[in-house]
Amino acid sequence: MRTLHRRKHAVVRAVGGRLAVPGVGGIHRRRTSAVALPVQRKAQSRPGHVQADGAHDRLRFRPTHQGRAAAYHGRWECVLHRPGRVRRVRGSGQDSQRASLRVTRAPRSTGTTEESERDMAGNGTVRVGVVGCGVVATAYYLPFLMDYEKADLVAVCDLREGRAEACQRLFGARERYADYYDMIDKADIDAVFVLTAPGTHVPFTLAAAEAGKHVLIQKPMATDMRGARAVADAIRAAGVKAVVEPSSSTALDPEYALLRDLVKNGVLGDVLWFSLASTGPTTYGPGLSSNPYGQDAFYAADSGGFLFDLPYAPTQIVSVLGACKSVSAQAKITRADHKIVPEEEYDKFLSHATDPRNANYWDVVVDLPRTQPVKMEAVDNAYSLYEMADGAQGACHVGRIFHPVLPGTGGGSLQIYGTEGNLLFGAGYMASIISTRTELLPEVEDDGWFHIRPRGDGSKAKWPQPTPGAFNYYHESSRHLIECILEDREPIVNVDWGLHITEMMAGAIESSATGRRYDMTTTLDV
């Protein structure tokens, strides 16, 4: 039997008034899963779940035909039998957390017996379920998972059944679901890609972790610190892997690892200040105003708004300069009324799509009329002043403009200034450094700068898809999670990373609301 993570012992513990049994579901993934249930009421029996109530004076198991169980005072052991295999789980409980537990048979996957019995470590693949068949899924993640030899795309899920059906047809998933929790319970998967609207990221990730699934979380991890901490706690308790997007501008990209090393080694001397205030394109087009689709993803109150849609800014700052210490901000809704392309247009596009490697809705949606009125219910204009742990301070603006900028005046990329040099992004380069400490630079060109040139063929760029040959964070994040699962190593962009980036944005919202500086409670060793 495959073990999805290395936790071999499950300990009954109280979590916020609820009982949790971490690890049981992960180990016995095909027969059981763990859920947290209220202590004060007996849980309704549900196949495949550990049941708990507080009505008994000691721990005990109720054996089923799937296995036998023995209980001791304060300690328990469960042995599950399958043909040719025996697995044993042991644990302990404290007197204040007494409960009875029952292990029952879980629903079998709709896949074949041979498929459901394959060993992940043995065949070098990870079985994936994707929830959310929207624009990001079809343009980026699903094409990669379809082609990547270490990924096995088992299931797709979307509330709009037509989308799930189209993605199953296009990308070859064996199963499709309209209910996410059905997919978690029934699909024979090792990992979940959460590609839904931001407001669902926390509950969907919690459910995946409780079921022992590894997770890729599309941005944002959460839209407040309560949700972010709940996700981090659940991932750690379950012992599963999690990749938190975006991975662009992080150490997952070797160029950023190089830049961080140069800065840490003193190529800029003492960093004094920085700025990052992206303005926009020089012509009218889809990059202006606001996203032309996705009411739940970009406009709804629980979406976090544009600030949480664009965590690329704090991600880039931290990747180069290290952890953040505090944030002071002004944030508000500056334009409440918008119009978007109706969601039904994407459904039509997907139903007629035939090429899984070119299911890019952006090619279509930018030319469609925006006829559906929507209200902006979350922040769309945020100006943050960040104080970094090393003493540097800088300004970062996230918002939208509605008309083009004059060529040569836009700028807006990250600029960092120090006592011994400057680091700037843009001007035709990925990044450039000028420094008095030339001995620290890999090379210096005739103009006196060290330049990192863009990768890939820019002439073949088709916005918003990444330039061919350049760093594609959607693909690299997917590859990174799968490799971390197979090799049992911690992801670079893990929940600790996600917590810190989330707090930089959530802290800005709190600072704006209170009128006071927000001091960070998390940190990172970057």
Q: Over the stretch 377-398, which tens digit does the pLDDT of each residue have?
A: 999 999 999 999 999 999 999 9
Distant-in-sequence, close-in-space partners of 131: CB < 8 Å, separation ≥ 6: 156, 157, 158, 180, 183, 192, 193, 194, 195, 196, 204
Contacts 24+ apart (CB under 8 A), 170-176: 170/138, 170/142, 170/350, 170/353, 170/354, 170/356, 170/359, 171/142, 171/143, 171/145, 171/146, 171/356, 172/146, 172/356, 173/130, 174/110, 174/111, 174/115, 175/109, 175/110, 175/111
At residue 289, the pLDDT reads 65
Q: Over the stretch 431-440, which tens digit does the pLDDT of each residue have?
A: 999 999 999 9
The strand pairing partners of 324, in sequence order, are: 388
Q: Can you tell me the distance from the alpha carbon of 450 to that of 421, in angstroms, rounded to the nearest whole number?
A: 11
At residue 523, the pLDDT reads 98
Q: Over the stretch 252-276, which tens digit does the pLDDT of each residue have?
A: 999 999 999 999 999 999 999 999 9
| Model confidence at 103: pLDDT above 70 | no
The CATH 3.40.50.720 domain(s) of the chain lie at 113-244
Instruction: Give the mean pLDDT of the chain.
Output: 79
Q: How far is CA 430 from CA 84, 141, 217, 417, 485, in A?
A: 56, 24, 26, 17, 31
Is the CB of residue 205 less than 8 Å from the CB of residue 217?
Answer: yes
| Model confidence at 339: pLDDT above 60 | yes
Q: Over the stretch 278-298, which tens digit does the pLDDT of each residue have?
A: 777 777 766 566 678 888 888
Q: Over the stretch 341-377, which tens digit does the pLDDT of each residue have?
A: 999 999 999 999 999 998 989 888 888 989 999 999 9
Q: Over the stretch 132-145, which tens digit does the pLDDT of each residue have?
A: 999 999 999 999 99
Q: Alpha helix locations (H) across 218-293?
A: 225-238, 254-264
Q: Can you tell me the distance from the alpha carbon of 44 to that of 508, in angstroms, rounded to the nearest whole number?
A: 42
Q: Which residue in 231, 166, 151 sits closest to 194, CA to CA?
A: 231
CATH architecture of the region 113-244: 3-Layer(aba) Sandwich (3.40)
| Model confidence at 484: pLDDT above 60 | yes
Distant-in-sequence, close-in-space partners of 155: CB < 8 Å, separation ≥ 6: 128, 129, 130, 173, 174, 175, 176, 177, 183, 187, 189
Q: What percent of the chain has pLDDT over 70?
A: 74
Q: Over the stretch 405-463, which tens digit does the pLDDT of each residue have?
A: 887 776 679 999 999 999 999 888 999 999 999 999 999 999 999 999 998 877 776 66
Q: Which residue in 2, 101, 6, 90 sits closest to 49, CA to CA?
A: 101
**What is the pTM for the complete model shown?**
0.77
Q: Over the stretch 161-210, which tens digit does the pLDDT of each residue have?
A: 999 999 999 999 999 999 999 999 999 999 999 999 999 999 999 999 99
